[in-house]
A and B are shown apart, each in its own frame.
Chain A
Amino acid sequence: MKPINILLVEDNPGDVLLAQIAFEKSRFDVNVQVATDGEEALEFLYKKGKFAGTNTPDLILLDLNLPAKSGSEVLADLKSDERLKVIPVIILTTSQAEWDIIQCYKLHANCFVNKPFGFDSFDAVVTCIEDFWFNIVRLPAN
């Protein structure tokens, strides 16, 4: 089975570390790559500059509260790109605001998940995400 590529768009190094620790224990062969802001995420997805030759991710984990270009702007951009719009995007945020939830689904986010409190809950959420998106769901092969 070929490795699953995940793009994590997250500016908080603590959250990046938590996600990496959680994915390390994965039963799947997961390759997590990180973009720390919205611009970098789009450069990564369009394989610009230093990202030339990178793999197109199978799944995107996207924070909303990002410096400069916000998560919802990144979401709007990539969901209006013919090639990128097929990649599932999971919003991973602390925001519980109804407005954010509606806005993200309107912009075609595939799901909206609140960052849980505590490592155990974080780990459980990551396990659920893996199980659902890598085991239950069928994603495009190419």
Chain B
Amino acid sequence: MDPVSNHNVKILILEHEPDDIELLQYQLKKGGLHYSSEVVQERTGYEQALRDFKPDIVLSDYVLPEFDGAAAFYLKKEIAPDTPFIIVSGTIGDENAVELIKAGVTDYVLKDKLFTVVPKIDRALKENWEHREKKEQEEKLANYARELERSNKELEEFAYLASHDLQEPLRMVGSFLQLLQQRYQDKLDEQANEYIYYAVEGAARMKRLINDLLNYSRTNREWLIEQVDIAATVRDALQNLAASVRESGAIIHFENMPVLAGDPGQILQLFQNLIGNAIKFRKKDETPVINISARKHNASWLFAVEDNGIGIHQQYSEKIFVIFKKLHGNEKYEGTGIGLAIAKKIVERHGGKIWFESSPGKGTTFYFTLNPPINETDQHPSC
């Protein structure tokens, strides 16, 4: 939008010489400005016009019988701080002019160069408009940041509430069902025991969901940057997965892992979730083999976790990263469906992307990039 031509400019003129007023009006009309003006000559009228007329711009003489242009400027600064203020004077010296501009006067026009007044008004209004736009944008951004902060805080409170208040009654359900199951099994018939079994199962699953949800929201809240030795991290992940590694007989290869900056706990979680999935979704009749590799890709690192498992159909490429989304029933593969949602969140928090390539029945390779947020070291420790 053109700030100047599209609306009628309201000009407040502070001038006591009738001839000067006439000359000025003549220049304004000649310059093709759409405007309406109010002329005031002394302080009270000036003050009132600032409040009631609400000018878009003030044109003020420098030397006035009652008070001067500087005083008029400071008065305007109080009443209408954002309104541009141009001094129109025959006598203003360079030094004075510099002082006034420093103090915040928008511009000045010499009476013997009165033809410059319209371009100067145009410029002042345009700059003022831009300034206001910028300020509005900044305020919008600040509001947005505040809103984001508030909603994050709300999420934090929700997580806290979930940990306290949701788990409490659930723990009662689970515990007493378990007691019922143990102490009354002989006294109830088979159907009653089946009902109890499903109720116990349900409570236990709900408990896992709540825990996972807490973990997921924690990914947002906690953030730590350190140098992370990926080889050591993978070893830690394998340690945490020791039971399923042993049970499945999985063989895991990894070498030339870098050291990079990131959140150590989250990167551990990331590898653990991906390796855990690679083991979980193995083929029944084949030893799971998992290859983890890394290579430098521009400023970031590209990792690949390749398995020889059951594979994923490409049609699920987006779905599998959705929270609580599962492709298999609970009877076949246990879990809440949060592992990849957390993995995606962690990768994105590290400025990276995650995706997969897979041929069903042959295996899957998960790729992800990590963008070290601060200076990283390019070490390649052996493993």
Measured between alpha carbons, how far is A14 from B172 in the docked complex, in Å?
7
Measured between alpha carbons, how far is A21 from B160 in the docked complex, in Å?
29
Min C-beta distance of B260 to chain A, whole Å = 26
Q: Chain B at the A interface: mostly helix, strand, loop or mixed?
A: helix
Q: Is the CB of A119 within 8 A of B182?
A: yes
Interface string of A91-122 (1 = CB under 8 A from B): 00011110000000000000000010111101
Q: Is the CB of B174 within 8 A of A118?
A: yes
| Residues on the B chain within 8 Å of A117, using CB | 167, 170-171, 174-175, 204, 207
Known interface pairs A65-B164, A117-B167, A122-B175; 9 further A-B residue pairs with C-beta atoms within 8 A, sorted by A's residue number? A12-B172, A14-B175, A14-B176, A65-B168, A94-B167, A94-B171, A95-B164, A119-B176, A119-B179
Q: List 26 A-B contacts (CB under 8 A).
A: A12-B168, A12-B172, A14-B175, A18-B175, A18-B179, A21-B179, A65-B168, A94-B164, A94-B167, A95-B163, A95-B164, A96-B163, A97-B160, A115-B171, A117-B170, A117-B171, A117-B175, A117-B204, A117-B207, A118-B178, A118-B204, A119-B175, A119-B176, A119-B179, A119-B182, A122-B175
| Residues on the A chain within 8 Å of B204, using CB | 117-118
Measured between alpha carbons, how far is A122 from B182 in the docked complex, in Å?
14
Min C-beta distance of A57 to chain B, whole Å = 24
Within 8 A of B (CB), among A10-44: 12, 14-15, 18, 21
| Residues on the A chain within 8 Å of B168, using CB | 12, 65, 94
B interface size (C-beta, 8 A) = 17
Q: Chain A at the B interface: mostly helix, strand, loop or mixed?
A: loop
| Residues on the B chain within 8 Å of A122, using CB | 175
Interface string of A37-65 (1 = CB under 8 A from B): 00000000000000000000000000001
Name A's B-contacting residues (CB within 8 A).
12, 14-15, 18, 21, 65, 94-97, 115, 117-120, 122
| Residues on the A chain within 8 Å of B171, using CB | 94, 115, 117-118
Interface string of B143-169 (1 = CB under 8 A from A): 000000000000000001001100110
Closest A residue by C-beta to B176: A14
| Residues on the B chain within 8 Å of A96, using CB | 163, 214
